[in-house]
Amino acid sequence: MAPSPGLRLFLLVVLIVAAVIFGLLTLFGVAGITGGATDTGSIVLFLVFLVVFALSLAATVGVAIRSRWARIAAIAAGIAVSLTCLGLVLGIPILVASARAPLNRTFPPA
């Protein structure tokens, strides 16, 4: 299977959508915890959202700058997103696009 050039942009869009969604959920978690919901379940849920948000954000930055670790970060973000309730709606496109998108720089440009 050859890399598909349009998948990098698609991967960026899906990663940005995932980062925005989980960023909002993390923000709601911060608001909930500061509002007094300090039971174990609330804190664990907040930490899960924080980890998924951090992975999505790191993968977005890695794909945007075409770093060497971008594919690994995108696959990790896809797996983490797949384990949540939104899961497979965003996780499968992230995993497929990260496996097939050309994420490395080519010098000189072809």
The string of pLDDT tens digits covering residues 28-79 is: 999 999 998 889 999 999 999 999 999 999 999 999 998 989 999 999 999 9
Dump pLDDT digits (tens) for 8-32: 899 999 999 999 999 999 999 999 9
Q: pTM (2 decimals)?
A: 0.87
Geometric angle at alpha carbon 56, from 91 and 25, rounded to 5°: 90
Instruction: Give the pLDDT confidence score for residue 108 in this predicted structure.
Output: 46
Cα dihedral value 77, 102, 4, 58, nearest 10: 20
**At 87, is the pLDDT very low, low, confident or very high (cuts 50, 70, 90)?**
confident
Which amino acid is residue 97, in one-letter code?
A: A
Q: Where are the domains of the chain?
A: 7-100
